[in-house]
Amino acid sequence: MAFSSCCWGRHPSSRLMRVELALSTAGSPGRRAPLALREEGGVEPFARRAGNRSGMDGGRSGTVAPHRHRPLWLAMLLHHQRLMCSPSAEWIVFFHGMGGDCSIFSRQLPAFRARYNLLLIDLPGHGRSASLQGQEPLDFSVWKVLELLDHLRIPCAHFMGVSLGTLVMQAVALLAPGRIQSMVLAGATCRFLPWGEWLVKTSQAAPLVHLVPSRAAYILFAYILLPRRNHRTSRAMFIRAARALRPADYRAWVSVVHDMDRPYRQLAQRPNTLPKLYISGGEDHMFLPATRRFVENEARASLVVLPECGHVCHIEQASRFNALALAFLRRHAAPRAREPSPLPA
């Protein structure tokens, strides 16, 4: 298996660094290939294929056109990690939730990396990706995801996400459905309950937005979404991952809540051509009711509810979640997909 990680500084003046670590079994067992370090003083090259700025070409490929003379922070690719199984293996792209990063999928990697190539993305303003810098979070994320797929030459992939990440996935499905093979949505965020939506909006209104630190508000909502004792582990993981989330980026992403169901409303107006598996916890009190209503109207969608499980079901019941997702992905493999073969020595 090969691993590569691309990291860039979050500040616009940071120089871009790319580190590629390849593990190989060539030669004696357990021998490591040398570490290859390449520093790039400029920006990563944009995708050179035809398309437009929004990432649309009639919804077929969703490629992103190059744009010159952009600020450095805007030209940076999203921070990402790649786990390579085989050149012939299919890809899974992982989308984390609000305040999270790539690390929240640690319980999925052992189950999926033996069969699939994995791409884990830090969304804009999260983890080690650059800040939003005033960009609209949802549309900007879609554009940057498509740009990254173009750069890595991944024409089509399975998408897997949790919580807010599922919203980004649905937005990509609107603009470029041809880039998605299937979707697994854990704890989908179709819509808050009315009182939850009111609470989020109130926390971002004056004077509370100036009095309550963003981290304190995030912790409060983590307890509201994951209130029970059996939610403790997943709640702690999300709170820990959110330490790097800056206040401006937090407020920008919270603003998405004001129109959270926009992608769902637009998807409801067109036939669903993508196979989707929704997996939610039976104790996901804030989002499960709306998810049930939406799935009923999607022709190629199914919903599995895990009992005694909260919003972050891929952590609380990782084994069950992994088994369901793997079975679903195998049913929707590409027609010409081959069994993964070992990487060349």
**Residues in CB range of 121: below 8 A, 6 or more apart:** 78, 79, 80, 93, 94, 95, 96, 102, 129, 145, 148
Assigned domain for 341 exists = no
Q: Which residues pair with 19 in a beta bridge?
A: 5, 37
Q: Please answer whether residues 33 and 24 qualify as being in contact, where contact means their C-beta atoms are separated by less than 8 angstroms.
A: yes
Assigned domain for 108 exists = yes
Query: Domain with 264 in it: what CATH number?
Result: 3.40.50.1820
**Residues in CB range of 218: below 8 A, 6 or more apart:** 98, 99, 239, 242, 245, 250
The predicted-structure confidence for 281-314, as pLDDT tens digits, reads as follows 999 999 999 999 999 988 899 999 999 999 999 9
Q: How far is CA 253 from CA 135, 139, 313, in A?
A: 10, 11, 22
pLDDT value at position 195? 86
Q: Which residues of the chain have pLDDT under 70?
A: 1-75, 336-345
**Residues in CB range of 242: below 8 A, 6 or more apart:** 98, 99, 100, 215, 218
The predicted-structure confidence for 92-141, as pLDDT tens digits, reads as follows 999 999 888 888 999 999 999 999 999 999 999 988 888 888 889 999 99
Assigned domain for 337 exists = no
pLDDT value at position 231? 93
pLDDT value at position 247? 86
The whole-angstrom separation of Cα 1 and Cα 33 is: 12
Q: How far is CA 45 from CA 14, 16, 132, in A?
A: 17, 12, 20
Q: What is the pTM of this model?
A: 0.77
Assigned domain for 345 exists = no
For residue 33, give its domain range.
2-331
Assigned domain for 112 exists = yes
Assigned domain for 25 exists = yes
pLDDT value at position 106? 93
The whole-angstrom separation of Cα 45 and Cα 66 is: 8
**Number of compact structural domains in the chain:** 1
Assigned domain for 205 exists = yes
The whole-angstrom separation of Cα 41 and Cα 17 is: 8
Assigned domain for 299 exists = yes
Tokens encoding 297? 């109207």
The whole-angstrom separation of Cα 141 and Cα 239 is: 22
**Cα 272–Cα 102–Cα 93 angle in degrees, nearest 5:** 30
Q: Please answer whether residues 190 and 182 qualify as being in contact, where contact means their C-beta atoms are separated by less than 8 angstroms.
A: no
pLDDT value at position 59? 44
pLDDT value at position 336? 58
CB atoms within 10 A of CB 95: 27
pLDDT value at position 47? 32
pLDDT value at position 228? 92
